[in-house]
Structure 1
Amino acid sequence: MKCRAARGYRPRPAVAGRPYGWVPAAVLLLAMLSSCTGSAPGGNATAIAKPGTAGVGDRLFPELGNGGYDVAHYGLTLDYAPETNRLKGTAVITARATQNLSRFNLDLSGLRVRAAAVQGAKAQVAHRGDELLVTPATAVRNGELFKTVVTYDGTPRTLESDDGGMEGWIETDDGSTALGQPTGSMTWFPGNHHPSDKATYDITVTVPKDEDGDPYDVVSNGELIAEEDKGEAVTRHWRTEEPMASYLAHVSVGYFEVHKGWIDDDLPFYVAIDPDESEGAAEVPDLVSEIVGWASERFGPYPFSSAGAIVDHLPGLDYALETQTKPYFDKAPDEALLVHELAHQWFGNSVTPRKWKDMWLSEGLATYAEWLWEEERGDRNADEIFEDFYDGTDAESEGIWAFPPADPPSGRRVSDPPVYGRGAMVVHKVREAVGDETFFDILRTWSRQHRHGSADTQQFIALCEGKSGKDLSELFDTWLFDEKRPSRM
């Protein structure tokens, strides 16, 4: 998450003694109703197609995500002009219906849809706020794998929160960057933008060369599988073969110094650094390699096909984001922040919170990774860091008692201090209660059992109790769910 530096009816064949096409009146009426409502042929005759819901029932972000389908893959083809900040896009969304669908929604904010098709046939679309309503020519059957193509364009939006924070499509001094947490991904591509619906991605971006004829760099998630110089423009194709939540999808356009290498001879890394940050970020490529190796020993095998980082120059953003395979930094990061965002590749990216209220699992575990790093390399052990947070003497401890980590009062608060600092304190209490051997077994098992999936708070509690053989209900009630600042246990 955001981490501050220091989202048809067919007639029946003739039957003997009955006219061709004759059917009982009740069946004819049902067939007519099914045709009108788009009931899926070949399925349950009584299963009438209905619209998918707008939203997935997440209390903190009720309008994000959509019901009735599960996305398997996004194919995004983008043309972007940095000089005018204009974006043209075609999204090919492959999904499986989880009900008979007469209509479904996609989350899309601020861009104009020019055309849409479902299974190759023209679909009707209507835009209501940030909801794109898609009505296919023929209803989609429950269980059917279907393909939706949306063509769109416009000036992508930057979303600003009450505290001045930015997300979405953000212009930089030499291009742009797309940051999706928690709602920003809907500003540059249509989709099912909730963490519980993960998918694979192909992101292809064409950018014209600048006025001097020099190409812009385009960096995204996963691996660069193709690059083409078209004379006046350059196209780059990035692929993410492991499932990814849409808020982790990312594109950065600009000028970067690219550092490539290998971690332990079998894991490629790709680090892109803005020239304005090159001096301060000189150690980042080596640190990425070192931290990924260190974390792999503690949390289990690295969960993706590549690693890396993007160090941009974006004054005023004031946060980093764990964009999958290449966490994004608005400026040269210190070691602790780099540890935090790389730890998210296990906690948050591979194992993604099922709902936004479960975000403490990502942030608490990534913050605790910072504590472990300092314990092994710094001047405080984890017990001392815990005490500094409890007493309020640590610089990051301000505001950690505002609400329980697993119960943010609103979507605007999912990046607030309790989710991070008090979340890490919960993790430390678990370590204290079960001992180091069981604790690190819990972390590795969590990463393995839910690899490339989604998980929630109750599953984590069950794993801790199952591995330790202890009833930890009092611990979690006190440190995770209680609204008051706990007394020491």
Structure 2
Amino acid sequence: MKGPDPYWPYDGNGGTNALHYDVRIAYDFNELVLRGRTFITMRANQALSSFSLDLLLPVSAVKVNGRTARFSRPNRHELKVAPASAIAAGKTFKVEVVYRGKPSPLSYAGEHNWLADRHEFVTMNQPHMAPWWFPSNDHPSDKATFDIRVNLPKAKRVLSNGVRISKKVTGARATTHWRMTDPMATYLAVVAAGDFVVETSRTSSGIPVYNAVSSHLSSSERGSSMRALRRSGAITEWLKGQFGAYPFTSTGGVVTNLDVGFALENQTRPTYGPWIYTSVIVHELAHQWFGDSVSVSKWRDIWLNEGFATYAEVLFDAAHGGPSVEAWLDSFYASACQSPTSPFWTLKLDNPGAPNIFDGAVYDRGAMVLAALRNRVGAVPMRNLLRAWVAAHRDGNASVAQFETFAETQTGADLDGFFDAWLRGSAAPAGTTQNGLRHACP
């Protein structure tokens, strides 16, 4: 069954709407085997004789509303479920999937996304991560609440989304339960499990903070990583001042020992490598507003995530001794405009193509768009625009086209030419005040 997104047409299933995931997994660090039983509460968007879920691991049983359901695997990524009786449009139903296997060798869309060794595993990747550890309607347009329970040897620590509910020890093993009560896209669900040093605290306004650093890092890496993570609370509070109320129940982060060359904005619990630094923390925490709370409608809208989080870095630097937003834009434009028809300028930010969703232009030119818009409409109206945007779309999804319309409505400016030049142009925007630029290309 094809899903809602042409970039990855087999992700998700438009016939269902996931409401809640109750994910229960156990992991064997010696055998590298994951066992899972996931319960999904769903609503039928149409009459259903069958529906599909996204999962890579082998499945042994499926039930729908407590009755055994037939299932098949049309491809390695898809689990097709045929309930014992048809489900009427609008009805809520519950799916149970039992599965077991080794996630590490599994691949989808050319990606091997399971990160683990004999001591630790962390689920962090984008746009695909969920199929390696739980069945889902794997597209950010279908967000749901989560309970996540992880069973491990009792000495291991588990970090996940939201707040920790309990840790129950049974013999040599323990089950740790985390809960995410705000809607979450499936790729943002995280488990970091292993030998972690965990610190808990609260921000100045009382938001719970969970920080964790792998014990398998060197002593100096552990120290520098935890010192960096401790800035998460203050950075969260600073971002609140820019973008409005923090949208979730906790904040913090995890630094893993595993070989990761990127960070990821998992909801409430970003993950990093030991190279962690302040700007990347700002970026990932800004995603809690832009990407996590306000998620893309389709992956073509990725500018709303990455350009906005990079712009938050520019704002933070300007407020903490770095160049002003205007000076940053002047400098970046003066350099980049020297190659006015390079891919940096010709990539369509409102539809970059699946291979390019993490292209540097999405981040850096994406931030330039917002800095230029700030020049065009003024600093205070720009701040008000972004605060209104995240408030209007909190816990939901949005598209680039919606932002363009919203920006015009909110500011009263005619921005059609501005957005055409910055998002869809065939060359660098002309250095004009109409395009939010103070100087022509030198």
TM-score by length of 1: 0.83
Match of 1:122 in 2: 68
8 A Cα contact 2:115 2:258, kept in partner: no
In structure 2, C-alpha distance between the alignment counterparts of 1:279 and 1:332, rounded to whole Å: 12
Give the number of the structure whose alpha-carbon radius of gyration is greater.
1
Match of 1:176 in 2: 121
Q: Secondary structure at the match of 2:269?
A: coil
Q: 1:281: how far off?
A: 1.4
Q: 1:172: how far off?
A: 3.6
How many residues of Structure 1 are paired with residues of Structure 2 in the alignment?
Answer: 423
Match of 1:80 in 2: 27
Out of 407, 410, 415, which is 2:351 matched to? Answer: 407
8 A Cα contact 2:197 2:212, kept in partner: yes
Match of 1:55 in 2: 3
Q: Secondary structure at the match of 1:465?
A: helix
In structure 1, C-alpha distance between the alignment counterparts of 2:211 and 2:330, rounded to whole Å: 36
Matched, 1:108 2:55: yes
Identity across aligned pairs (percent)? Answer: 39
Q: 1:385: how far off?
A: 1.8
Deviation digits for residues 378-436 of structure 1 (CA, Å, limit 9, x no counterpart): 33111222233324479xxx963351221112x22211112111111111121111101
8 A Cα contact 2:149 2:175, kept in partner: yes
In structure 1, C-alpha distance between the alignment counterparts of 2:143 and 2:108, rounded to whole Å: 25
Matched, 1:336 2:279: yes
Q: 1:330: how far off?
A: 2.0
Q: 1:232: how far off?
A: 1.0
Match of 2:169 in 1: 229
Q: 1:314: how far off?
A: 2.1
Match of 2:298 in 1: 355
Match of 2:439 in 1: none
In structure 2, C-alpha distance between the alignment counterparts of 1:97 and 1:321, rounded to whole Å: 31
Matched, 1:280 2:224: yes
In structure 2, C-alpha distance between the alignment counterparts of 1:84 and 1:103, rounded to whole Å: 34
Q: 1:487: how far off?
A: 2.5
CA RMSD of aligned residues (A): 1.9
Q: 1:439 to 1:451 in 2, by over 3 A?
A: same
Q: 1:160: how far off?
A: 6.9
Out of 313, 324, 332, which is 2:257 matched to? Answer: 313
8 A Cα contact 2:201 2:208, kept in partner: yes
Q: Secondary structure at the match of 1:280?
A: helix
Deviation digits for residues 291-325 of structure 1 (CA, Å, limit 9, x no counterpart): 0110001100100011110111223x210000000
TM-score by length of 2: 0.92
Matched, 1:441 2:381: no
Match of 1:451 in 2: 394
Deviation digits for residues 357-382 of structure 1 (CA, Å, limit 9, x no counterpart): 11101111100000001111133111
Contiguous gaps of at least 5 residues in structure 1: 1-52, 210-214
Out of 266, 278, 281, which is 1:323 matched to? Answer: 266
Q: Which runs of 4+ in 1 moved over 3 A?
A: 157-162, 391-394
Match of 1:143 in 2: 90
Q: 1:216: how far off?
A: 1.1
8 A Cα contact 2:29 2:117, kept in partner: no
Q: Which amino acid aligns with 2:320?
A: R
Q: 1:294 to 1:271 in 2, by over 3 A?
A: same
In structure 2, C-alpha distance between the alignment counterparts of 1:108 and 1:160, rounded to whole Å: 11
In structure 2, C-alpha distance between the alignment counterparts of 1:392 and 1:207, rounded to whole Å: 52
Matched, 1:304 2:248: yes
8 A Cα contact 1:167 1:179, kept in partner: no
Deviation digits for residues 257-300 of structure 1 (CA, Å, limit 9, x no counterpart): 11110112521110011131312213234311110110001100
8 A Cα contact 2:294 2:393, kept in partner: yes
- 1:463-474 matches, within 5 Å, as 463-474=406-417
Matched, 1:369 2:312: yes
Q: Which amino acid aligns with 2:239?
A: A
In structure 2, C-alpha distance between the alignment counterparts of 1:342 and 1:458, rounded to whole Å: 24
Q: 1:104 to 1:160 in 2, by over 3 A?
A: closer
Deviation digits for residues 4-49 of structure 1 (CA, Å, limit 9, x no counterpart): xxxxxxxxxxxxxxxxxxxxxxxxxxxxxxxxxxxxxxxxxxxxxx
Match of 2:145 in 1: 200
Match of 1:38 in 2: none
Contiguous gaps of at least 5 residues in structure 2: 433-442
